[in-house]
Amino acid sequence: EGMNLGESIDGEIFVPSFTNEEVCVADGRFTFKDSEEDFIGLGGFGLVFRGKDERDGKEVAIKRVLKQHIKYSEIDVIRSLHSSFLIGLIDVCNLDDNYSCIIMVTKILIILNLSSQELCDTDLDYHIRKNAKGRKLTHANLRLLIDNLARGYKALNDLRIVHRDIKPQNILLQYASSCSYQFSAAKITDFGICRSLENGEMSNVAGSLFYMAPEVGANLLKTCQYDAEVDMWSIGCLIYQCVVGELPFDEGSLCKLFLHTACANYDAYDQPDLPEGTDENVS
């Protein structure tokens, strides 16, 4: 999920530090080792480790994040997610971090479903950068991705949940076999900044810039309400990237986009074109 060890973040190399300690939470139900060996990647607001449910021996993904990044009113909503196209939440546990020499602060462990049936091979961002020719998906992989994202989006929409950070790093992939880059499943993960529409529409800035819907980005300028449709915009940007091999909007275009949404009298933004034959491929 997200960045891997030694990957670049904004031009800088991210190298996390590890204590190599065995960590037990929830009265020993879940265990993981704070080590490079069990480190999976960098998710939203925290590090993700490969862990174990000691009750049945199944593997789980454990994300360690600061307590302040958890919105407790949303936890029960996230727990209610049951879909083959979403990485489900199992539990949220308190953890006193006695190993940090910088900030001694209570942290939260988010336990994610990572059973043997759902163990993912990589994320979409890594696949595009490392395994996709020209950073474009094959027609077969594109069709499966669109199908699985649509089903995952529907599962969220049925529960009136807005993810707000759909991007390649938050799409986990299963390959059909260990010697093939053919997708067998795509799953949406990382619900750290998701919100429930039961609490009304939202008007704060959240998500990743290049996949951010205009009504979200417009909140940089003035208060603009938005709903679940912002996730569909993010999915559209993601699919465009998988088809064309580049993002639909650069920073300049995004500025125009946000200004156009916030100020109706501002010049409209340029709509990106798709290559010939794209409609047939996507359908």
Instruction: Report, as residue numbers or ranges, the catalytic residues.
Output: 165
Q: Which of 250, 224, 218 is nearest to 237 (CA)?
A: 250
- The annotated binding site is made up of 67
The owner of tokens 């799953």 is: 187
- Using DSSP's 3-state secondary structure scheme, residue 179 falls into coil
Token readout for 60 is 């789980």
Strands (E), the chain: 8-9, 12-13, 22-25, 30-33, 39-43, 46-53, 59-66, 89-96, 106-113, 122-123, 161-162, 171-175, 183-188, 195-196
- The annotated binding site for ATP is made up of 67
Token readout for 26 is 């929830």
* Contacts with 145 (C-beta within 8 Å, 6 or more apart), sequence order: 124, 137, 171, 183, 186, 239, 242
